[in-house]
Structure 1
Amino acid sequence: MPACPMCTSSQTVKNGRIHNGKQRFKCHNCGRQFVEQPTKKVIDSATRELIDRLLLERISLAGIARFAQVSEQWLQNYVNQKYAQVPRSVPVAAKKRRLTIQCDELWSFVDNKGNKQWVWLALDADTREIVGVYIGARDEGAARNLWQSLPPVYRQCAVAYTDVWAAYGTVLPSKCHRAVGKETGKTSYVERFNNTLRQRVSRLVRKTLSFSKSLENHIGAIWYFIHYYNASLLV
């Protein structure tokens, strides 16, 4: 067995393989993990663009690392930086027409199912754009944050259809709020988007090993997909 490059101990053992199949070793003396004759891999722009697209699909980070042939640690650092830079607001141009939005909440969790994080969404019923987003608890404060996330033109002019969850009625102005049942179809578009979100963002699948461990990355992944989704409507 090769000697440890950290403490020079010969008490080393094989410890699996790295992403490219190269043998990895571990030192019993100091715990250092290493490979023989390591080479630093430069991740080119084509691989980064591929990863950006794969992040929009229902694939775990471990799966992306295997497919793109990068290390999981490098990928995690890349994702951390990328999600931190995603804007937490939706740019929407002023609309010169009658506005109708549909609002709904989507259950999710971070780290464990006891740490519930509800995804509150508002969708323009005509353009299908997501025009408001908030991620947090399922209470009156969260409903208020969703309302505040809407562009001013929607808060001033839009009629908002929601389910009968009480928090909406305490926050949305009564003159523009319509609480309806699912059977009316008045919230069908945003409910359909909830299904799309679960199908495309692996950390939102109900039974998954890809759940979020970090709230910041959980929020970043959702915003990343929403920006992509809105942009795809313009193509």
Structure 2
Amino acid sequence: MADLLGTTAQSVLRWVCRYVDRFCTKPLPGEAVVIELDEMWHFLQRRDNKVWIWKAYDRMTGRLVDWECGARDERTFRRLFERLGRWKVCLFCSDNYVFYPLVLTVGGHYQGKGETVSLERNNGQQRHSKPLQNNKRRTSF
């Protein structure tokens, strides 16, 4: 994509993130008893050029409440986590990725693949969904 546009992959990533922030509305903060957290990647034109999407999923409502695009690093996760502070979250569930226990507090975090099944299903649906036909724009994850 970057070659097509005559720019860098980082510029394309910034454009995609701005587009998502503008057209993929996030719900207003409220109460979310259990939030599942996970990160997934997509290729940008070639295998060695990945973009990571960190996602927060409300287990009770079955919807994404927030997401963050960037690298697979603590800094990107912290940006998402800081916004989640507006929600009344009782418990965060995640897989065993190294950055979660560095940011999430003991007692408010459960770590284990068995507790992120709903979000993993959402990741699979997002990754394998077919593009919409008839010029319909996809506006949410």
**TM-score normalised by L of structure 2:** 0.71
Equivalent of 1:191 in 112, 120, 123? 120
Give the match for residue 7 of structure 2.
none
Is residue 115 of structure 2 the alignment partner of residue 179 of structure 1? Answer: no
Q: CA deviation at 1:167?
A: 0.6
Give the match for residue 160 of structure 1.
92
What CA distance in whole angstroms lies between the structure 2 residues aligned with 1:138 and 1:121?
A: 12
Instruction: Map 1:68-217; keep pairs closer than 5 Å.
Output: 83=19, 86-87=22-23, 90-95=26-31, 99-150=33-84, 152-154=86-88, 157-180=89-112, 182=113, 184=114, 186-200=115-129, 202=131
Contact 1:122–1:130 (CA under 8 A) maintained in structure 2: yes
What CA distance in whole angstroms lies between the structure 2 residues aligned with 1:107 and 1:152?
A: 26
What CA distance in whole angstroms lies between the structure 2 residues aligned with 1:176 and 1:129?
A: 20
Unaligned 5+ segments in structure 2 are 1-15, 132-136
Q: CA deviation at 1:85?
A: 7.5
Contact 1:201–1:225 (CA under 8 A) maintained in structure 2: no
Unaligned 5+ segments in structure 1 are 1-79, 203-220, 227-235
Contact 2:94–2:110 (CA under 8 A) maintained in structure 1: yes
Contact 2:36–2:119 (CA under 8 A) maintained in structure 1: yes
Contact 2:35–2:91 (CA under 8 A) maintained in structure 1: yes
Contact 1:102–1:123 (CA under 8 A) maintained in structure 2: yes
Q: Alignment identity in percent?
A: 29
CA-atom RMSD in angstroms: 2.6
Paired positions, count: 119
Q: Deviations over 1:14-61 (max 9, x none)?
A: xxxxxxxxxxxxxxxxxxxxxxxxxxxxxxxxxxxxxxxxxxxxxxxx
AA aligned to 1:200 is S
Q: CA deviation at 1:177?
A: 1.1
Higher relative contact order (CA 8 A, sep 6+): 2
AA aligned to 2:108 is C
What CA distance in whole angstroms lies between the structure 1 residues aligned with 2:108 and 2:21?
A: 34
What CA distance in whole angstroms lies between the structure 1 residues aligned with 2:65 and 2:84?
A: 6
**TM-score normalised by L of structure 1:** 0.45
1:117 aligned counterpart, secondary structure:
strand
1:159 to 1:112, Cα distance in 2 relative to 1, 3 A? same
What CA distance in whole angstroms lies between the structure 1 residues aligned with 2:74 and 2:21?
A: 28
